[in-house]
Amino acid sequence: MEKILVVGGGAREHAICEAVCRSENVELYSIMHNLNPGIERLSIDYLLADETNVEEVVGYAVDKKIDLVIVGPEAPLEAGLVDALEKKGVKSSSPSKKAAMVETSKEWMRGLMKKYKIPGSVEYGCFSRVRDAKRFIENLGGNVAVKPVGLTGGKGVRVAGDHFRGVEGAVSYAREVIENKIGGVAKVVIEEKLEGEEFTLQAFSDGKMIIPLPAVQDHKRLLPGDRGPNTGGMGSYSCKDGLLPFMNKDDYENASVILQKIVESLRKEGCEYKGVIYGQFMLTADGPKVVEINARFGDPENMNILPLLESDYVEICHAMVEGTLSRQRIRIKNKATVCKYVVPEGYGVKSITDSRIEVDEKGIEETGAKLFYASVNKKGKTIYTTSSRSLAVVGISDDLYDAERICEQGLKHVKGEHIFIRHDIGSRELIEKRIRHMELIRKTVLGAKVDE
C-alpha cells in the first residue's frame, strides 16, 4: 500500500483526493484547516491543522510514513513545506519554495520572463516608492493593472476601468499597497493593462518538460455579467476539444510554449519545477500574454480537469518527481465541463459565516453532477459556511451547454438561507458574449480604433 498525503481542505483538494483514490493500492491521508466532509470521507486518517505549519505537517508525514505528499494551495509552498519534507526524505510532487516563486513573487516571475526573453511578457515596473510608481503610471496614461508583489489570494489586483479610473485612481491604490504593505511587502507591481479574454492553462511538469491539459476559463468577478469585486474564482468551464470557444489551436500552442519556456528557465536557474504549473493568460490581439503564473492547480480550474483524467494520477505524480513524464501517456476524457461555486452570501466583501447549508448528496448524484466540498465546516451532521467558498458542483457532458444544464440541476439540491451562486457561468449568453468580445479584439490593430 502506498501512503499519499494531500495538504489542503478546499474543493481543489477534494478533487485531488478523489483522483488519488481512483488509483489502486493507495491509502489517503490529509491535512486541512477546516473539516471538509468530502476529504474526511476519503481519508484513512486526517489532521486538522494550519497547512502552513511546516513542522506539524512534516511531523505528521514522518509519523504516518507517507510516501508522497501532494500540496494543494500555495501558502504551504511559500512556507517551504516541500523543502522541509525533502530534508526528511519525504517525496512531494509539488514545487520547492524557490520554484514556487513564480507565483509567490510577481516581481521575480516577471524578471525571469525578461531575463530568458520568454514570449508573452508585458510591460511592467516594480516600485517601493510612490513617486516612482506614479511616473510609470503616467507614462502608461493610467491604463494599468496595480498589483501587490506578494500573495493576496487573487483579491489584491485592481485594474483601470474595472476598479479605478485614470492616473489618480491608479496612484492612490499603488500608495495604499505600499503604505499598508498589502500582500506582506511594501512594494507594488504596475503592469500595462491587457485587453482580451482570459484563460487558464494548467500542465504537469517534471522539471524538464510539460504536458499541457485542456484550457479552462475561470470567472473572477463576483457578480453576473463580470461585475463586482475580484474573488478567488466563482466557476469555470472547459470544452470537449481542449480549447475554448474564442481560442484557436495556435493560441493554445503558444501558451503551452510559454509554460514550457518558464519551466526550462527555472531549470537553468537551478530550481527545477516539479508539479502542476498554472498559467493565467490574457488572449490579446497579439496572442497570449501572461497575467500570472501559479505553482499549483487552479481553484476552480482543477475541478474541470481532474474528473476527466483517465490515467493514473498517482503514477503521474511520481513521474513529475522522477523526471520521467516523457514516458507517460496521459489520457483525458474528451468532454465539456461546467463548474459553479456555491459561496456564502457577502463573499468577496464580508461573508456570512456559520450559516447552515443543506446538501442533498444523493439528489446531486442522480443528476449526474459531481460535488466537491470546499471551505465548509462539518459540525455533527450539519455543514456550515466559513468566510471562503463553500462547495462546487460540476456538470460533465459531450456538449458545453448540456454540461451547464447538468451543473444547474445539481445545484438545485443545495439549499441555504445565505448562499450565492453566479448562475451565468457557462450560459450560452455569456459564452457568445466572450466570442464576440474576442472577435472585436482580434480586429483591433494596435493603436487603431475598432469599428463595431
Residue ranges that bind ligand AMP, judged by CB under 6 A: 122, 145, 147, 154, 157, 159, 191, 193-194, 198, 220, 230, 280, 291-292
Residue type at 71?
V
Nearer of residues 146 and 406 to ligand AMP, judged by Cβ: 146
Partner whose binding site includes residue 230, from ligand GLY, ligand AMP, none (CB under 5 to 8 Å by kind): ligand AMP
Write the secondary structure of 98-167 as one string of H (helix), E (strand) and C (coil): CCCHHHHCHHHHHHHHHHCCCCCCCCEEEECCHHHHHHHHHHCCCCEEEEECCCCCCCCCEEECCCECHH
From the list ligand GLY, ligand AMP, none, partner contacted by residue 233 (C-beta under 5 to 8 A by kind): ligand GLY
347: β partners = none
Under rule CB under 6 A, residue 301 binds ligand GLY? yes
Question: How far is residue 180's CA from residue 199's CA, in Å, rounded to a whole number?
Answer: 31
Per CB under 6 A, 154 contacts ligand GLY:
yes
Q: Which does 291 bind (CB under 5 to 8 A by kind): ligand AMP, ligand GLY, none?
A: ligand AMP
Counting residues that bind ligand GLY (by CB under 6 A) gives 7
- DSSP one-letter string for 338-363: EEEEEEETTTTT----S-EEEE-HHH
Instruction: Tell me the three state secondary structure of residue 254.
Output: helix
Binding residues for ligand GLY restricted to 124-143, rule: CB under 6 A: none
Residue span 239-278 as binding mask against ligand GLY, x where in contact by CB under 6 A, dash where not = ----------------------------------------
Measured from the CB atom, is 198 or 286 closer to ligand AMP?
A: 198
Residue among 10 and 142 whose Cβ is closer to ligand GLY:
10
Q: In terms of DSSP bridges, do strands 26-32 and 2-7 run parallel, antiparallel, or are they unpaired?
A: parallel
Considering CB distances under 5 to 8 angstroms, the limit depending on partner class, which of ligand AMP, ligand GLY, none binds residue 176?
Answer: none
122 binds, among ligand GLY, ligand AMP, none (CB under 5 to 8 A by kind): ligand AMP
DSSP annotation of 309 reads B
78 sits near ligand GLY (criterion: CB under 6 A): no
Decide: residue 350, CB within 10 A, 0-12 exposed, 13-18 middle, 19+ buried.
exposed
> Looking at beta carbons only, is 218 or 424 nearer to ligand GLY?
218
Q: Which does 435 bind (CB under 5 to 8 A by kind): ligand GLY, ligand AMP, none?
A: none
Question: Least CB distance from residue 172 to ligand GLY, whole Å?
Answer: 26
| Residue among 153, 291, 287, 300 nearest 219 (CA) | 300
Work out the angle at residue 40's Cα, subtended by the Cα atoms of residues 24 and 205, and round it to the nearest 5 degrees. 55
Cell of 277: 504549473
At its nearest, how many Å lie between ligand GLY and the CB of residue 388?
Answer: 12
Tell whether residue 13 is a contact of ligand GLY (CB under 6 A): no
**Cell numbers placing 395:** 456538470
Q: Which is nearer to ligand AMP, 107 or 312 (CB)?
A: 107
CB of 216 to ligand AMP, least distance (A): 13
- Which pairing describes strands 45-48 and 197-206: parallel, antiparallel, or unpaired? unpaired
Mark the segment that binds ligand GLY (CB under 6 A) among 122-130, 201-209, 298-306, 315-323.
298-306
Reading phi first (left if > 0) and then psi (alpha if -120 to 50, else beta), residue 161 is in left
Q: Could you say which of ligand AMP, ligand GLY, none residue 198 binds, taking C-beta under 5 to 8 angstroms by partner kind?
A: ligand AMP
Amino acid letter for position 7: V
Taking the complex as a whole, how short is the minimal distance between the CB of residue 184 and ligand AMP, in angstroms?
A: 15
Residue 301 contact partner, candidates ligand GLY, ligand AMP, none, CB within 5 to 8 A by sort of partner? ligand GLY
Q: How far is CA 313 from CA 64, 68, 207, 256, 357, in A?
A: 21, 12, 17, 21, 31
Which distant-in-sequence residues (6+ apart) come within 8 Å of 63 by Cβ?
none
Please answer whether residues 327 and 404 qualify as being in contact, where contact means their C-beta atoms are separated by less than 8 angstroms. Answer: no
159 makes contact, choosing from ligand AMP, ligand GLY, none, with CB < 5 to 8 Å by partner type, with ligand AMP
Nearer to ligand GLY, 78 or 218 (CB): 218
Please tell me the distance from the alpha carbon of residue 452 to that of residue 449, in angstroms, as a whole number.
Answer: 9
Please report whether residue 229 would count as binding ligand GLY according to CB under 6 A: no
According to the binding rule CB under 6 A, does residue 294 interact with ligand GLY? yes
Angstrom distance (rounded) from CA 319 to CA 333: 20
Cβ closer to ligand AMP: 222 or 369?
222
CA separation for the pair 104, 97 (Å, rounded): 9
Of the candidates 299, 312, 404, 424, which one interacts with ligand GLY according to CB under 6 A? 299
Q: Which residues are at the interface with ligand GLY (CB under 6 A)?
A: 154, 218, 233, 294, 298-299, 301
